[in-house]
Chain A
C-alpha cells in the first residue's frame, strides 16, 4: 500500500466523524497551547531577569561600611563612616578587581523653571558608569577634572529628565539642586526596573566631591557611603572578595581578632540566584502545561480504542480484501498522529495568540521562541505515536474471521 493512500484513508476516516475528531483534538490543542504559552511566559521572566542582571553590570561586588556603636546602641550595616574614596582607588588596583568606584548618595529636590522633582542623587566618579555597564543617550560624562574641582555638573536618568524637561533636550540646561545651579551635561540610556522593582532611571549623578562638599555635607569629610567593585571575571569573584577584605583590614589598621568595619557583598551572585529561581518557576510552568498535554494524549488513546472497537467490522473487511496487519496498524497510528499534529499546529497558534494577549492586555513580558514551538510540536507528535500505538496495535492483531463476524 502506498504511503499517500495510507494518509488518505486515515484522513478520510477522521473526516467521517468530525465532531469527535475535533473534541479529541481539543485536548491536544489546549495542551500544546498551554505549553507554548507557559514557555513564553517563563522565557519572558528569564529575559526580564537577565536584562536586569545585564543592567546591573557584570561581576559586581559592593563594599559597605560596618556598623557604628554609640552609647551601646548599634546602628545597622553601612552607618559607620569608614570607607573613603582613597579606599576605592586602592581596591581598584587589586589583581582580581577590574575597577572600583566610590558612591556618595543622597536625596534632593531638582528644579528646572516651573518644574521640580525629588529624586536620588549619587555622587560618583566617571568610572562608575562603565562598572554599571551604563552608557549615555546624549551629552558626555563628567571628567576626573570635574571630580577634582567639584564642578556643578549633573547627568540625569531618563525618568528625571522626563519629569523636568518633558520631551525637550536637557543637555546644556541649567537646573537647581538645593539652590545650587547645575549644568546638565549628560542623559543616560533607560535601564528599566531593578530586580527589586525600583525604577533605576529615577536618579541623577554628580561628581562625588560635589555631593560630599556642596550637597550632602558630612561631619566625616572624605568618606563615602559604599564602593562599587567590578571583578575581573566571574570565576575570580571569591578571590576578589578575599583580596578586598585583606587590603581594607590593612588600610583600616584592624587587628587580627577585630571585627571588620566593612562588609563585601556579591551583587551578581544575588542576581544569579534570582535568575535560577525564575528558571525553576519557568520549568514548573512548562511541566504543569505538559501534564495537560499528557491528559490530551490519554483522551486520544481513549477515543482511538473506542474507534477500533466500533470499526472492528471495517477492519475485518479491509483484511478480507488484502490489508496486511501493517496497513491496519499504520492507518490507526496515522489517525492518532494526524489528530495530534493538526491539534498541535492549532495549539501553537493558540499559544502564540495567548502570549500576544498576555503581553498586549496584561503587559507581561513574553518571549515565544522557535525552540519552544518545535518542542511543543515534537511533544505533540510523540504523544500521538505513544498513545496511538496501543489502539493501532490492538486493531492490527484482530483475526480477520473474528473481525468480520463482529456485530
Chain B
C-alpha cells in the first residue's frame, strides 16, 4: 500500500463574500488526514459547515484558502476540466435527495458517469448491468426513478457512484429521506463497500447512522471539535 494518505487537508478555510463585515466564514482552519479504506462519519448541527466541507472534498466547491491533496495531488489549483475529471474518475456521490435524472431509466442513470468518461455505449450498458445484481436492482433496469421506491432510488444512486470504480465515495445524508429500516439497508451496503476497500465519507446528523462508521469527525461552527473513534 502507498504511504500517501488518500486525503490530506491542511489549514483549509472557506468563506463567502469579499471581506470586512460581509465576510461569512463557513470553515475555519480545518486540517484532516483520511487514509485509504477508512469509513468516516461527519456530524454536526446544521450550519456547522459539514456539507460545505463534503462539497470541497468532492471537488464540487473550492476552498478559499488552504491545501487539499487527493492521492497526494494538489486539488485547490486545478481548473474546471481537471476537477470534472476527478469527480468522474476518483469520486462517487450519494445525495440525500438521490439526484437521479428524471425520466431516465435505471440503467442510463447508472451509466451517466461512464458517458462522460467517454466509454462506448455497449460497454456502458454491460458495466451498468453488472452493478444491478449486487444492489438487488435486476428487475428495475428499465424503470425510471418515479417508478421506484426511495430505497431503490438510493441504491441506483449508489450504483451510479460505483460505476467508474472510484476510490472514494461521499455521501451527504444518504438516509435522510428514508425510513429507519430502509436507511439501515443502505448502511449495510455502505459497510459492505467499505469492506471491499472503498473509502467512505458520510455526512449525517443521526447518531444511529454514524455508529456504522469507524471514525467520527464532529463539526461545530466551521471547526473540528472532535476527531476519533465513534462513541459507543
Using A321-B112, A401-B61 as known contacts, list a sample of 19 further A-B pairs with CB atoms less than 8 Å apart, ordered by residue number in A: A1-B115, A1-B118, A4-B121, A16-B103, A316-B99, A317-B100, A319-B60, A320-B60, A321-B87, A322-B84, A322-B85, A322-B88, A322-B89, A322-B113, A322-B117, A324-B84, A324-B116, A325-B81, A326-B81
Is B19's beta carbon under 8 Å from chain A?
no
A9 to B84, CA, bound (A): 18
Is A239's beta carbon under 8 Å from chain B?
no
Question: Is there an interface contact between A321 and B93, defined as CB atoms closer than 8 Å?
Answer: yes
Residue of B nearest to A326 (CB): B81
Is B160's beta carbon under 8 Å from chain A?
yes
Residue of B nearest to A15 (CB): B103
Shortest CB distance B101–A (Å): 6
Shortest CB distance A84–B (Å): 89
Question: Is there an interface contact between A314 and B101, defined as CB atoms closer than 8 Å?
Answer: yes
Residue of B nearest to A325 (CB): B80
Is A257's beta carbon under 8 Å from chain B?
no
A268 to B104, CA, bound (A): 68
Question: Is there an interface contact between B85 and A404, defined as CB atoms closer than 8 Å?
Answer: no
Question: Is there an interface contact between A318 and B80, defined as CB atoms closer than 8 Å?
Answer: no
Shortest CB distance A244–B (Å): 78
**12 pairs of residues in contact across A and B, judged by CB atoms under 8 Å:** A1-B115, A1-B116, A5-B115, A317-B100, A317-B112, A320-B99, A322-B113, A322-B164, A325-B84, A399-B61, A400-B61, A401-B61
Q: Mark A244-277, 1 if CB is under 8 A from B, else 0.
A: 0000000000000000000000000000000000
- Interface residues in B118-164 (C-beta closer than 8 Å to A): 118, 120-121, 160, 164
Question: Is there an interface contact between A318 and B116, defined as CB atoms closer than 8 Å?
Answer: yes
Known: A5-B115, A314-B101, A404-B60. A321 touches B88 (CB 8 A): yes
Q: Which residues of B contact A320 (CB under 8 A)?
A: 58, 60, 87, 93, 99
Q: Which residues of A contact B81 (CB under 8 A)?
A: 324-326
- Interface range on chain B (Cβ under 8 Å from partner): 20 to 34
Is B55's beta carbon under 8 Å from chain A?
yes
Known: A322-B85, A322-B88. A317 touches B99 (CB 8 A): yes
Q: Which 3 residue pairs of A and B lie closest in terms of their CB atoms, listed nearest first?
A: A322-B88, A322-B116, A321-B113
Q: Which residues of B contact A325 (CB under 8 A)?
A: 80-81, 84
A85 to B219, CA, bound (A): 115
A324 to B82, CA, bound (A): 9
Q: Which residues of B contact A12 (CB under 8 A)?
A: 104
Q: Mark A301-341, 1 if CB is under 8 A from B, else 0.
A: 00000000000011011111111111100000000000000
A317 to B87, CA, bound (A): 11
A231 to B185, CA, bound (A): 99
Is A74's beta carbon under 8 Å from chain B?
no
Question: Is there an interface contact between B60 and A401, defined as CB atoms closer than 8 Å?
Answer: yes
Question: Is there an interface contact between B101 and A323, defined as CB atoms closer than 8 Å?
Answer: no
Known: A401-B60, A401-B61. A321 touches B160 (CB 8 A): yes
A319 to B93, CA, bound (A): 11
Question: Is there an interface contact between B116 and A400, defined as CB atoms closer than 8 Å?
Answer: no
Residue of A nearest to B116 (CB): A322
Is A198's beta carbon under 8 Å from chain B?
no
Q: Which residues of B contact A318 (CB under 8 A)?
A: 112, 116
Question: Is there an interface contact between A313 and B80, defined as CB atoms closer than 8 Å?
Answer: no
Known: A322-B87, A400-B60. A2 touches B99 (CB 8 A): no
Residue of A nearest to B163 (CB): A321
Known: A320-B93, A321-B87, A322-B164. A401 touches B55 (CB 8 A): yes
